[in-house]
Amino acid sequence: MDLSPIRLSLETSLAATAVVTLVGTLVAGWRVRRRGTAFELLDGIFLLPLVLPPTVVGFLLLLFFGRSSALGAFLYGLGIRLVFSWPATVVAASVTTFPLMYMTARAALEQVDAPLVEAARTLGARESRIFREILLPLAWPGLAAGMVLTFARALGDFGATLILAGNIPGRTQTLPLAIFFAVESGDTADAVRLSVVTVAISLAALGALNLWTRHRRGLAMRVVEQE
């Protein structure tokens, strides 16, 4: 069995999780506690990849990064060819998972008590320090949950990846693509094996989240017992 889809999927999902965690948390941090119609419209754009069919997302990305677009032409000029390359799988997975991370991060940041932020302000802290030292640590459980969801969803992307990155074995063929083409070519045994691996990875991610949550709760309990 060709193991490259497993390696590729893990690499792609981890890379996308890293990108989306960073960008999603920063954007959510910027957006949090801002009110107004303009921001709500912006939210609509941020959440679009969640409601659009992944193939549409992939197609829009293809148009966006293709040679005929301004950005695509610029990148080509620099010698960067994104479409049908491994980074394209990361871009596809990142864009489709961004709404998940953004929404979870925003919810996690919003549940941090507003007076804590205000107290920090009156104590002379800049917004960047408040974000680092107050918001992030207190929103961390929610952010971690968002990361796991992002990873699991990134692992499963099919449509957007196929359109933007193509199905190149060893370079862009991730697990879902490998399974699809295995089924299509009648190689059921391979499809089953790859499916089992996918289920195992997903379960492991969820299990890790579960363990970690329990560990945190255990810590909190121990602290209470010390009193």
Partner 1 sequence: MEIRAEIVAQRGPFALQLHLVTQQRRVGILGESGAGKTMTLRAIAGLERTARGRLEVNGRVLLDSARGVCLPARERRVAMVFQQYALFPHRTVEENVAFGLHGLPPAERGARARDAARKMHLEDLLARYPRQLSGGQQQRVALARALATEPEILLLDEPLSALDFHLRGLVEKELLDSLAEFRGAALYVSHSLEEVYRLCDEIVVLSRGRVLASGPKEEIFLRPPSREVARLTGCKNMSQASALAGGMVEALDWGLRMRVAQPLPQARYVAIRANHITFADQPGGENVFPCTVVESTETPFRRTLYLRLNSAPGDGWQLQAEVQKDRWEELKSRPAPWHVRLDPHRVFVTSE
Binding site for partner 1 (CB under 8 A): 113, 115-116, 118-126, 129, 134, 137-138, 223-224, 226-227
Nearer to partner 1, 207 or 218 (CB): 218
Nearer to partner 1, 37 or 122 (CB): 122
CB of 220 to partner 1, least distance (A): 9
CB of 65 to partner 1, least distance (A): 40
Q: CA 112: distance to chain centroid?
A: 22
Residue type (1 letter), 205: A
Nearer to partner 1, 170 or 218 (CB): 218
- Specify whether the CB–CB gap between 174 and 75 falls below 8 A: no
CA–CA separation, 152 vs 71, rounded Å?
30
CA–CA separation, 127 vs 135, rounded Å?
10
Estimate the crossing angle of helix 37-51 against helix 86-110, to 10 degrees: 130
Nearer to partner 1, 60 or 138 (CB): 138
CB of 219 to partner 1, least distance (A): 11
Handedness of CA 166, 167, 168, 174 (dihedral sign): positive
CB of 217 to partner 1, least distance (A): 14
Nearer to partner 1, 77 or 124 (CB): 124
SS3 (DSSP) at 10: helix
Residue 196 DSSP label = H
CB atoms within 10 A of CB 44: 10
- 15's enclosing H/E stretch is helix 4-31
CA–CA separation, 158 vs 196, rounded Å?
17
Closest to 189 (Cα-Cα) out of 199, 175, 179: 179
CB of 20 to partner 1, least distance (A): 25
Tokens linked to 95: 């864009």
CB of 130 to partner 1, least distance (A): 9
Nearer to partner 1, 79 or 115 (CB): 115
Nearer to partner 1, 40 or 118 (CB): 118
